Structure 1
Amino acid sequence: MQYYEVVLRILLAVLIGGAIGYEREFNNRPAGLRTHILVCLGAAVISLIQVYSVEEVTNMILKHPQLESAFKADIGRMGAQVVSGIGFLGAGTIMHEKGSIKGLTTAASLWVVGCIGIGVGMGYYMLSLTAGACAVLILVSLKKFEERFVEKHKVIKFEILYTNRNNTLQYLEDYFTRKGIKVTHIEYPVEEDDLTVEEELVKRCLYTVLIPRYLSSTDILYSLTKNENIIKANII
């Protein structure tokens, strides 16, 4: 392999990794421009090492045919290790916060960048350029499409202190139904020392709900506390 071709593959890996990483950096994601460039570059280097090792083994066998059974070169093994290794890096970008999971797209983009880097290092230019263009297009365009046409929900957990159990629980059920809020889980913790308000027993419940994006959790809390039987409502 000529030196200029090695340089071309390295620069192409940096370019494609940078294009995808720029979109992630622009959106303030955990893994941004430098991370994507390094992943793509590293994958390309591993592929180049693999190509060189195959060439060396081939030349050695041509010079010494009697050593053919002693030399083996698995052209896909090192690349496979790169792909699996990126999984650990991607796991570091995934965060669990208040019932929602963030960072999956960034983890996926790191994995894709690694695969593209392998393709660049192996010399599959058209495949790598096409895949890189598709990745950038997906990250930029489909996000706007999802925001406009795909209805998403926020996962929120409410803590509610209340009196008059039956009436309050019925009110909560009616309110959530009216607002299009889906209740996924309800907990009624057992308290050793229940509070009392004007001789009424105060109960506590925890609601895990799916809230449409157009609803504000602050407005929901305000609406809930307007009920005379609800002492307090907050997000946990």
Structure 2
Amino acid sequence: MRNVRLAEVDALPVAVLPIATVYPPDYLLGWHEHRRAQFLYAATGTMLVETEHGAWTVPGERAVLVPPDTRHQVRMFDVETNSLYIDPAAVPWWPAACQVVEVASLLRELLLAASDIDPRGGLNSRDEVLLELILQETSRLSEVPLHVPIPEAAPLAGLCRRYLADPDLAVDNRVWAREAGMSERTFTRRFREEVGMSPAAWRSRARLLAAIPLLRHQSVTNVAARLGYATPAAFSYAFTRAFQSSPSSLRLRAS
């Protein structure tokens, strides 16, 4: 199915609903949730997925696994998706939190073929085999660490979400502590307790994640300068160390 709203087909008595969608540039799919697990694959572009507990960046030709009944929002940068909405009973192994995963060439082709399936007219034997094979392949995926946690405490979460939307090199712990109404020492301790890393380390990782959508249209050199790195080599080293992929390789997928 293509460009079909989930609500129109959610009640169909099938375990897997394949829906392909083309989104306008820089489109925000606001906060929502669905009872089915979602396999959200970016055939093109880059997606930024947020939940109450974290933020995930999904370059082209990768996917994010969204658990059922998980409130989330997605910003789409020139994205075409191939989604699967799956009855939770069919995927008991599904993760309890979002995960970005690698998508191999076989699964990409299966997702493309599945977009032509329309369960509203019933499933033939080929459709059933194709969807079952897709489920088998989704159970073998490898996670990639393209995310940052978000604190639960409201003042800390607000600071993090604003930073994700607009990373600012001028922000430091003193600025954040003042905005949160805490001493710098108390702020730093609470932040580390909630997310398991220092505020400075969190901001550094968030800036690296912000590089991924920028790499769609800018060179590694330009992105490195924009994010405040002294050299492209320093940026590439930090990026590869954080995400186990070079910025040049993700640039190809994000474009």
Short-chain TM bin: under 0.3
TM-score by length of 1: 0.26
Q: Which protein is richer in strand relative to its size?
A: 2
More helix by share: 1
The higher radius of gyration belongs to: 1
